[in-house]
C-alpha cells in the first residue's frame, strides 16, 4: 500500500506588496486584509481536502481491519474444530487397538 505524498497548496506568498516590484533591504511584506483572508481561505480549503482524504483512508483501513478480524475468527474456529475431531479420532484408534 504505497502512501502518496500530500498535495501541496497551489499558491505561494508574493515577494512584494506590488507585482513586479522587488523587495528592498529592510522592507517588510505588506498584505491587505482581503489578500490575507483569501490566503487563509485557500489554506483552510486545502487542509479540509487533506482531512477528507485522510478520513476516507482511515475508514478504509478500519473496514479492512474488521474484515481481517472476521477472517481470523473464522480460521480460529476451523482450527479448533479440526483439533477436536483429531482428538476424537485418536481416542477411537486407541480403543480399536485395545481390542
Q: pLDDT tens for residues 43-90?
A: 999 999 999 999 999 999 999 999 999 999 999 999 999 999 999 999
CB atoms within 10 A of CB 24: 7
Q: How far is CA 91 from the centre of its chain?
A: 51
pLDDT of 17 higher than 60: no
Instruction: Let me know how long the chain is.
Output: 99
32/65: higher pLDDT: 65
How many distinct helices (H) and strands (E) make up the chain? Answer: 1, 0
> Can you tell me the distance from the alpha carbon of 25 to that of 23, in angstroms, rounded to the nearest whole number?
7
> What pLDDT, on the 0 to 100 scale, is given for residue 28?
58
3-state DSSP: the chain helix, strand, coil percent, rounded to 5? 65, 0, 35
pLDDT above 90: percentage of residues in the chain: 63
Q: In sequence order, which residues have a C-beta less than 8 Å from that of residue 55 and are 6 or more positions away?
A: none
Amino acid at each position: 500500500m504505497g502512501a502518496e505524498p500530500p498535495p501541496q497548496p497551489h499558491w505561494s506568498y508574493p515577494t512584494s506588496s506590488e507585482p513586479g516590484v522587488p523587495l528592498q533591504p529592510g522592507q517588510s511584506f505588506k498584505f491587505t486584509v482581503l489578500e490575507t483572508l483569501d490566503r487563509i481561505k485557500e489554506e483552510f480549503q486545502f487542509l479540509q481536502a487533506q482531512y477528507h482524504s485522510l478520513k476516507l483512508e482511515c475508514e478504509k483501513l478500519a473496514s479492512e481491519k474488521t474484515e481481517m478480524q472476521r477472517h481470523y475468527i473464522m480460521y480460529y474456529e476451523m482450527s479448533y474444530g479440526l483439533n477436536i475431531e483429531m482428538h476424537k479420532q485418536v481416542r477411537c484408534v486407541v480403543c480399536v487397538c485395545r481390542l
